[in-house]
Each structure stands twice: as C-alpha cells, then as structure tokens.
Amino acid sequence: MKQETFAAGIRLFAQGDYSEEAYRIIAGSVEISIDDGSSKVVLATLGEGEIFGEMGMIERLPRSATARALSALTVEVITEQDFNESLAGGGELLVPFLTTIFERLRVTNERLREAHQQLDAQRSSSTQTKVSTRAPAVAVAVAGRLVLEPDSDETRTQSSLQTQTLTCFPFAFGRRADLAACVDVFSKTHLLIGDRMPYRVSRTHCAIEKEKGAYFIQDRGSKLGTIVNGIMLGSGSKEHRVRLRTGKNTLVLGPANSTIRFILTVPEVESQS
C-alpha cells in the first residue's frame, strides 16, 4: 500500500468516476458529498483513521459520491491487488478496511429493516377506518441530529472522539484493542476509545439507541457502569437503560471520577400528525 498527500480543496474522486481504490485517512479530513447538478448534499465529514471508497474498490462501479480534502490530507491507498496480496499474507493490514465494510453492511441492513417497518405501518394505516378527522399527534425528531462531543481533556485529545453527528443506531461505545491483532472485524462497536490501565471502559460498554424519535442509553454489561445525567446504569445498579432528554445530556463511561466523558445534544421534537 502507498501513501499520497493532497492539498486542501483537492478532489480525490468525483461522483461517477471509475473506481478501483480505497483510502484510509492518516492525517487531515475529507468531505463526502453528492451533487445532482443544482445542489450539493454533504453526506459525511471523515477524519483520521476513517475509511472511504472501499465499495468502489470491491465492486468496480462508478463512484456514488465525491470526495474532497477539507485540509492538508495524507491517505493510505489500497487497490484490489493490494487487498488480495495482503489477504494471502495473513491480512492484518486489512483489519480497518474489513471492519468498515462490515459496518457498511450493518448500516444498510438496518436502513432496509426501517424501510420495511415504515411500509408496514403505511399499509396498516391505509386499511384502518378513520375514527376522527385528525389523528393524534406523535413526537418525532426534526431539524438537526443527535450530536456527540467530547467533554474532557482526555477525550478531546483522541482524534476519533471529536464532535460528530450521529445518524445510525444503535451506536455502540467500547474500548479500543491494545494490539491490531486483537481487533475483531465483526465487532459492532462504532466508537473505539483509547483507554489505559486500570481500564474504565469495557470492550463492549454502552450504546445509544433510537426508538420512535426518542434516544436512549443502554449499558451493555460494562464492568464499571455508565452514568447518564447523574444516573448510574449497570455495574450492580438496577437501571440499565435511560431516556435522553431534549438538549444537552452528560455521558460518563466508568465510575464518577472517570475522565471518559461526553456531551450528547438531542434535537428538539415537534408534534406531527
């Protein structure tokens, strides 16, 4: 695999381009967007350690989006040949790429499941007789998404823990493996946190879940527990799940003195018929 550098503003590839390479960000950031000719929609902003372009490398289909460097950028480039040679040699270098590919598949399956649920709900609604001229109001999340941001010096220094907007749920937190060889490519952890002994963060710690427009924190059997807005979850507590309130929420992984801290900002909701 080789490394390449790009100046801020340079386009790595455009929507519709022929594709045969995937990229891992060594330093800098990348904007992924789509453009229909009249307007641009930003799909994601990626930072250090994140992967993009992997499906193009596998499928050899035209790029579905455009990638542009937002800052001075250094990336690791992998081709299909590199992928096959690394796999034949043991495949350790492929762990981050495989992890991303499996995550893409999980997200796609989750979106497909949600789409089927929406279709089922629409069919059910269309077959029911109206009892009143106006259906009861239901609270749904509107403008904005749930935002995760670091809330301690320790979390602010980890590049993978910087402020981000969450769109896929459940969104799981866990401790990063000490050695690359220990990484589980089938892991369902989305946010890998660097920790040191004595560990405060479990390999599988907690997750943000979304149900009918509401957000919840679920402790996933962590050793030292999870604290949400001062409420202890897991680690001997009778509580294991709590709903997040609109606005800012505090999230602590581990005991009360843990410095693995985050702020979760939940968007406003409105009544929709």
Q: What is the pLDDT of residues 234-251, one digit of tens each?
A: 998 999 999 999 999 999
- pLDDT of 179 higher than 50: no
Reading across the β-sheet that carries 40-46, which strands appear in turn?
11-13, 66-69, 30-35, 40-46
pLDDT for the residue numbered 134: 42
Q: Which of 10-24, 30-44, 243-257 has the highest mean pLDDT?
A: 243-257
Pick the closest to residue 65 from 93, 47, 46, 84 (CA basis).
46
CA 75, CA 6: separation in Å to the nearest integer? 8
Average pLDDT on 114-129 reads 62
Residue intervals of the chain classified under CATH 2.60.120.10 are 2-96
Angle value at C-alpha 181, between 79 and 154, nearest 5 degrees = 100
pLDDT at 110 over 60: no
Q: Which of 160, 168, 148 is nearest to 106 (CA)?
A: 168
Q: What's the burial of 57, exposed, middle or buried (CB within 10 Å: 0-12/13-18/19+)?
A: buried
* Contact assessment for residue 224 and residue 239, using Cβ atoms and an 8 Å cutoff: no
Distances, alpha carbon 1 to alpha carbons 21, 81, 83, 141, 159, in Å: 11, 10, 9, 43, 23
% of the chain surpassing 70 pLDDT: 70
Tell me the Cα Rg of the chain.
Answer: 21
Residues of the chain with CATH 2.60.200.20: 138-272
Q: Is the pLDDT of residue 126 over 80?
A: no
Q: Which two tokens stand for residue 257?
A: 């003195």
- The average pLDDT across 76-81 equals 82
Name the pLDDT band for 38 (thresholds 50, 70, 90).
Answer: confident
Tell me how far apart the alpha carbons of residues 242 and 233 are, in angstroms, rounded to a whole number: 8
Of 161 and 121, which is predicted with more confidence?
Answer: 161
Token output for 228: 């949400």
Residues 148-168 have a mean pLDDT of: 89
User: Residue 83 corresponds to which amino acid?
Assistant: F
**pLDDT for 184-240, tens place per residue?**
444 567 888 989 888 999 988 999 999 888 999 999 999 999 999 999 999 989 999
Q: What tokens does 81 get? A: 């040949």
Quote the CA–CA distance of 214 and 54 in Å, as a whole number.
32
Q: Read off the tokens for 64.
A: 């579905």
Q: What CATH class is the domain 2-96? A: mainly beta
Asked which of 25-34, 70-79, 108-117, 202-211 is least confident by mean pLDDT, the reply is: 108-117
Confidence of residue 170 (pLDDT cuts 50, 70, 90): confident
pLDDT higher than 80, residue 163? yes
Per CATH, is 138-272 categorized as 3.40.47.10?
Answer: no
Task: Tell me the pLDDT of the chain averaged across its residues.
Answer: 79
Does pTM surpass 0.75?
no
